[in-house]
């Protein structure tokens, strides 16, 4: 058992799969000798060499085009798009090309690739480098979408993503890279489409993802200590496939639902979860579902304004308390 940072877990997860399978290759901007702009790929170039760890030009379209071609011809590429905001530059590949290749060829062509990317706010990078865009990917048929919140989940879900026969979007939260967690020795493999109950509770269910998971947990501890409110927190981990069974079972126990989303409010992933619960567990609810989100605005670069825009533990706890007591 070792304590790893989230960023070191990224490198360990990729290395585990590259050691296991020579068909796994890695490409992206500055991922090689530089070790990645977020230092999440340090040591991979030295370990696996320039044929399998390839620095690319500054062209998101070239990166994903090369990855798709490699996947279609038998390799298992991991492609890095440095900031998730840059999906807008190469969105044709993400929306129209590799998600649809297996369907449009009747299964003759598979596209087993992983696109990993730095996602989310908290680093003061401004409106074009701080977005949380899980909902962009979630809406596209043919993509699988994961967003781990801990070093252990980074490694396990990376393994599951690389071994999956379909394209997977792997969101790494930039504000979690320095966080630490216990990770066991040996091979770690998880399962896509499985949520985790990270804090059991009986009075309400909070659904969270990535950076919002530790903030929801902190809010839950505040609610318990200050108001005696016992909240269950679920780390969704995966948006596609979505573990609706865990969510619905929790709502059936607690009878209240809250989502904590870093996405802008309009069309965030929480809206889909609320819709599912309303369809399938309406009579289990004792009150309306509540979404706690970022406002529908471009994110500011100023530290005070960015912090104000994002859900934090205090805001989450206050909104849950007022809803349950109201």
Same domain, 218 and 88: no
Same domain, 228 and 99: no
Same domain, 230 and 292: yes
Same domain, 11 and 159: yes
Same domain, 104 and 148: yes
Compute the distance between CA of residue 317 and CA of residue 312 in angstroms, rounded to an integer.
9
pLDDT tens for the 326 residues of the chain, in order = 889 999 999 999 999 999 999 999 999 999 999 999 999 999 999 999 999 999 999 999 999 999 999 999 999 999 999 999 999 999 999 999 999 999 999 999 999 999 999 999 999 999 999 999 999 999 999 999 999 999 999 999 999 999 999 999 999 999 999 999 999 999 999 999 999 999 999 999 999 999 999 999 999 999 999 999 999 999 999 999 999 999 999 999 999 999 999 999 999 999 999 999 999 999 999 999 999 999 999 999 999 999 999 999 999 999 999 999 97
The residue out of 150, 183, 216 marking a domain boundary is 183
Q: Is 190 part of any domain?
A: no
Output the pTM of the full model: 0.97
Same domain, 61 and 176: yes
Domain with 33, as residue range(s), is: 2-183
**pLDDT given at position 1:** 83
Same domain, 19 and 160: yes
Does 296 participate in catalysis according to the annotation?
A: no
CB-based burial, 19-41: b 16+ in 10 Å, e otherwise: eeeebbbbbbbbbbeebbbbebb
Q: Is 49 part of any domain?
A: yes
CB-based burial, 99-136: b 16+ in 10 Å, e otherwise: bbbbeeeeeeebbbbbbbbbbbbbbebbeebbbbbbbb
């Amino acid at each position: 058992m070792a304590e790893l940072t989230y960023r070191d877990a990224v490198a360990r997860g990729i290395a585990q799969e590259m050691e296991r399978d020579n068909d796994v290759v890695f490409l992206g901007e500055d991922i090689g000798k530089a070790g990645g702009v977020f230092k999440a790929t340090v040591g991979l170039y030295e370990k696996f060499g320039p044929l399998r760890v390839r620095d690319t030009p500054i062209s998101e379209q070239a990166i994903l085009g090369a990855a798709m071609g490699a996947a279609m011809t038998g390799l298992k590429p991991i492609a890095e798009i440095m900031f998730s905001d840059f999906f807008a530059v190469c969105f044709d590949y993400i929306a129209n090309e590799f998600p649809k290749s297996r369907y449009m060829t009747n299964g003759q062509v598979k596209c087993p690739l992983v696109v990993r990317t730095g996602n989310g706010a908290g680093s003061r990078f401004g409106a074009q480098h701080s977005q949380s865009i899980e909902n962009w990917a979630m809406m596209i048929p043919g993509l699988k979408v994961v967003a781990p919140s801990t070093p252990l989940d980074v490694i396990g879900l990376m393994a599951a993503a690389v071994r999956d026969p379909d394209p997977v979007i792997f969101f790494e939260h930039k504000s979690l890279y320095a966080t630490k967690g216990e990770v066991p020795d040996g091979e770690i493999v998880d399962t896509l489409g499985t949520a985790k109950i990270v804090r059991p509770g009986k009075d309400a269910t909070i659904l969270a993802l990535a950076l919002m998971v530790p903030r929801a947990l902190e809010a839950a501890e505040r609610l318990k200590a200050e108001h005696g409110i016992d909240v269950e927190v679920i780390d969704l981990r995966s948006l596609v496939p979505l573990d609706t069974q865990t969510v619905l079972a929790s709502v059936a126990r607690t009878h209240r639902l809250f989502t904590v989303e870093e996405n802008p409010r309009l069309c965030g992933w929480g809206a889909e979860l609320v819709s599912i619960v309303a369809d399938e567990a309406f009579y289990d609810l004792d009150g309306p579902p509540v979404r706690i989100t970022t406002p529908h605005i471009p994110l500011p670069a100023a530290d005070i304004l960015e912090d104000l825009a994002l859900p934090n533990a205090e805001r989450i706890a206050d909104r849950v308390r007022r809803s349950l007591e109201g």
